[in-house]
Amino acid sequence: MRCARLVTGAILALVCPAPAERNAQLAAVPAGAARWTKGFWAERFALAHQVMAPEMRKTLDLAGNGANLVNLRIAADMEAGAFQGNAWSDGDVFKWLEGMAHFYARTRDAKIDAEMDAVIAIIARAQQADGYLSTNITLRGQPRWTEPRRHEMYNMGHLLAAAAAHFKATGKRSLLAVAERVTSYLYSLLSPRPAAMAHFGAPSNAMGFVDLYRATGDKRLLELAAILVDSRGSAPGGTDHFQTRVPLRKETQAVGHAVHATYLYATAADLVAETGDAGLRAAVERIWDDVAGKRVYITGAVGPLDPGLTPRRDIAFEAFGADYELPNRRGYNETCANIGNALWNWRMLAMSGEARYADAWENILYNSMLSGAGLDGRSFFYANVHRRYAGEAPLLRNETLVRWHDTVQKPSADSYCCPPNLLRMIASLDSYAYGVSSDAIWVNLYGGSRLDALGMQLEQESEYPWDGQVTFRVRAAPRRELGLKLRIPGWSGRNTLRLNGRAEAAPAAGRYVELRRQWKAGDTVVLTLDMKPRLMIANPLLETSRNQVAVMRGPLVYCLESPDVPAGVRVSDVTLSRRAAWKIRHEGKVLGGIDMLETEAKRYPQAGGSSLYLALRPAGPEPVTIRLIPYYAWANRGISHMTVWIPLSD
């Protein structure tokens, strides 16, 4: 979908034609069409803009950081030195740059524009004459395309995505020119479909192709995305780890490295949206059902293994596991994998218009995506476990007892892919909160915001996710009939809907309800969702969570953390009743302002020590008052014990 931008005063009015050339049911609104105004996501956007982005820029200049701008400076002959960081360092710099472009599109911050110009000038000078750009190869003097793990495609893929965002935000062609040279180089390399390159395509590269295609209309980019998707698994010697053992169109399950996998599936969904490819659609729907039924945590996290074996016995790390293999304490769940799952689910929603994908997307955003960032905007988690016994059990690779801060715990920033990924997601999220089709506005995510699209100016007021009431006020409307499609989450029980004070039929959960009419200024819609706390159980085949419950309220998964139990009580001692009565307490000065869930639980004191097995203690349970906090907010009060799943006492 191409949308013309007409500047009227300080407001971007967007004229969006029907997506006639696409097979999608809806598209995200362009940057500037929607803005957060107040509440949960507005606060996170402000934190990311004012704290996370500038802190990240400083980190990119730290010697030894996993992502480092110095490599591009050296390649540009602007300073001397040797390559630093990881093979994927360039790509993570480009992710930061993409985030900055999203911020500029929404804030018109002149400092951001100038900073982007300066970095883009370095990138342009670092690019090779034939268009190739990956400093880990050029600075080390290594031959190109000899090992897929060297991340050449990854780096150039994120350059393409950043170029698309920068071009749409600024109208400047500086980074686009670099991306066009990359495109020409890769087209000459890949369009003949050489067998030797079958397993080199990185899914992030394929996503970048589609992003840039949608910004420029260059059909070579769509062709390249299809080549990369269909090449995987087309040659012998493949592995589940990189999704190269079985061609995607024949795959039946999610396998291998979860970031690579979710980016691959996201690109496939994008291709379906652009081309209507029925075989590819069947494949991504089949794999999505496999993940939803067997391989995703209650928080939307994916990728528990590090390392482990795939169902076909390939070694994999940061990867999907076997059916129902979702360990709590040892669940790796890289932040980038969770973000990849969000990117995939958004594209499944756009492709199909089905609310189940929006529910899964929202679940990730509030839980396993946000858990990767500290509330200070400066600290991060790479791994996102669902149970932690701090100091009593060994940590996973890249798991840390406290959130690492770039400038304080520099060695912990060895792999710096997750922070800029979080940055670009938070910076651009408002464009996905709403969607548009030819004759309807889709409301995918609730929160205080303003929308200007399809001739409709709409204001949304809500304290969601703390409160279930959402109010929409029409400020201006087109002179034609238009649908307003509101997502009713699958978790919401009793829902009410009122139009201009008049009750509408109670909307059913797990679908979009549509109000279609010729709207006028002053029209008001009030949706109220059911926010009662819910006890969730797992499939009994998920052994690590059997006879335990997780607690959810609205879209939020809650957890029990050691600061919220009485002194002397261990998190592992606590059990919950299936009849637990909850008190909802809003704590404005705790963890950035949250709703805590308080209840009376039972404590069964557990014997300590180093013995593997102990006799059961006959002592009866003791009453104990506990409070639960949202999972995303844990590990912001120092070293702690935590669990998402709590044993049932009766």
**75-127 pLDDT, tens digit each:** 999 999 999 989 999 999 999 999 999 999 999 999 999 999 999 999 999 99
**Could you please report the per-residue DSSP string of 150-189?**
G-HHHHHHHHHHHHHHHHHHH---HHHHHHHHHHHHHHHH
Residue 395, number of CB atoms within 10 A of its CB: 15
CA 446 to centroid of chain Cα atoms: 17
Say yes or no: 563 and 511 in one domain.
Answer: no
- pLDDT for 45: 98
What is the reported pLDDT for 205? 83
- Give the CA distances from residue 270 to residues 133, 187, 266, 281, 602, in Å, rounded to whole numbers and listed in that order: 25, 19, 6, 10, 49
Longest C-alpha distance within the chain, in Å?
Answer: 76
Four-CA torsion 351, 357, 359, 360, nearest 10 degrees = -130
Strand-pair category, 469-476 with 482-488: unpaired
Q: What average pLDDT does this structure show over 639-644?
A: 96
* Residue ending a domain, choose from 504, 528, 552: 528
Percent of the chain with pLDDT over 70: 95
pLDDT recorded at residue 412: 42
Same domain, 513 and 563: no
Whether the bond into 307 is cis, omega within 30 of 0: yes
Domain presence at residue 418 = no
Report yes or no on 618 lying in a domain: yes
pLDDT value, residue 608: 64
Provide φ and ψ at 350, rounded to 5°. -60, -40
Output 12 or 419, whichever has higher pLDDT: 419
Domain end residue (candidates: 231, 256, 280) = 231
Q: Are 649 and 621 in contact (CB under 8 A)?
A: yes
Contact (CB, 8 A) for 248 and 242: no
* Same-domain status, 76 and 119: yes
Range of the domain at 551: 534-647
The verdict on 104 and 207 lying in the same domain is yes
Instruction: Output the domain CATH number for residue 473.
Output: 2.60.40.1180
Q: Which of 250, 257, 183, 195 is nearest to 221 (CA)?
A: 183
pLDDT of 22 reads 77
- Whether 462 maps to a domain, the answer reads yes
CA geometry: angle 614, 618, 624, nearest 5 deg: 100
d(CA 482, CA 516): 6
Q: Of 231, 248, 266, which closes a domain?
A: 231
Contact between 605 and 373 under an 8 Å Cβ cutoff? The reply is: no
Residue 467 and residue 554 in one domain: no
Residues 229-273: tens digit of each pLDDT: 999 999 998 999 999 999 999 999 999 999 999 999 999 999 999
In terms of domains, do 206 and 133 share one?
yes
Assigned domain for 578 exists = yes
Looking at the structure, tell me whether residues 518 and 625 fall in a common domain.
no
Question: Given this model, what pLDDT does residue 609 score?
Answer: 66
- Local confidence band at 11 (pLDDT 50, 70, 90 cut-offs): very low
pLDDT classification of 406: cutoffs 50, 70, 90? low
| 151 and 88 Cβ atoms separated by less than 8 Å | yes
Bridging pattern class, strands 482-488 and 440-443: parallel
Copy the structure tokens of residue 169: 């935000």
pLDDT digits (tens, 9 = 90+) for 69-82: 999 999 999 999 99
Do the Cβ atoms of 270 and 213 come closer than 8 Å? Answer: no
